[in-house]
Amino acid sequence: MFEIYPADSARFYSTERNAFANPVGQTIASQSASLLDLILDGGERSAVAAALEPIIRIRAVQEFAPSVALGFVPLLKNAVREEIPDLLAEPARSTTLAALDARVDEALLVAVDLYVHCREEVAQLRVREATRQVSGLLRRLGWMETTSDEKPAESCGNRPGE
């Protein structure tokens, strides 16, 4: 989860345990544990989205490519295989493994939806801020009348499809 960050940041995010000093690292650590539990237990899509949302919100405001920001989700397949090698040894468990892979694939789709939604929100906020700055400048120059029809910013916490 932390490999996408520069080495110093990754070390800090993965080792600093104080939630106030390291909200990014603590959010990623706690929510990834919840996400893994939900995937292993076959959690509902809405619960998976709730676990993914804080991680995705963090990564959506950072300037990573979507494949980098969301690349941790498919890696959950490998992580589970490394942690539960017995599952691979038993041919009768192949359906269990296939179901697990399907849940990870579903989590990836949820992550993509959340990421796109949050990136759209970030873009809208940037446009609003640029518009506010330009209109403020125009008002100061006397080229525009003062109006109060600006809408409040929305949160990317409003998950799509819910």
In a domain, 84, yes or no: yes
In a domain, 149, yes or no: no
Q: What is the pLDDT of residue 22?
A: 92
**Cβ contacts of 120 within 8 Å, gap of 6 or more:** 156
Query: How confident is the model over 51-63, as pLDDT tens digits?
Result: 999 999 999 999 8
In a domain, 73, yes or no: yes
**pTM (2 d.p.):** 0.76
In a domain, 59, yes or no: yes
Torsion of CA 102, 103, 108, 112, to 10 degrees: 110
**Cβ contacts of 39 within 8 Å, gap of 6 or more:** 48, 76, 80, 100, 103, 104, 107
Q: What is the pLDDT of residue 153?
A: 47
| Residue-number span of the structural domain to which 40 is assigned | 7-118
Statement: residue 72 has pLDDT above 90:
yes
In a domain, 106, yes or no: yes
When computed from its CA atoms, the radius of gyration of the chain, rounded to whole angstroms, is: 20
Statement: residue 94 has pLDDT above 80:
no
Q: What is the pLDDT of residue 147?
A: 57
Q: How many domains does the chain have?
A: 1
In a domain, 126, yes or no: no
User: When comparing pLDDT for 99 and 156, which is higher?
Assistant: 99
User: When comparing pLDDT for 92 and 135, which is higher?
Assistant: 135
In a domain, 13, yes or no: yes
- AA letter at 62: Q
In a domain, 42, yes or no: yes
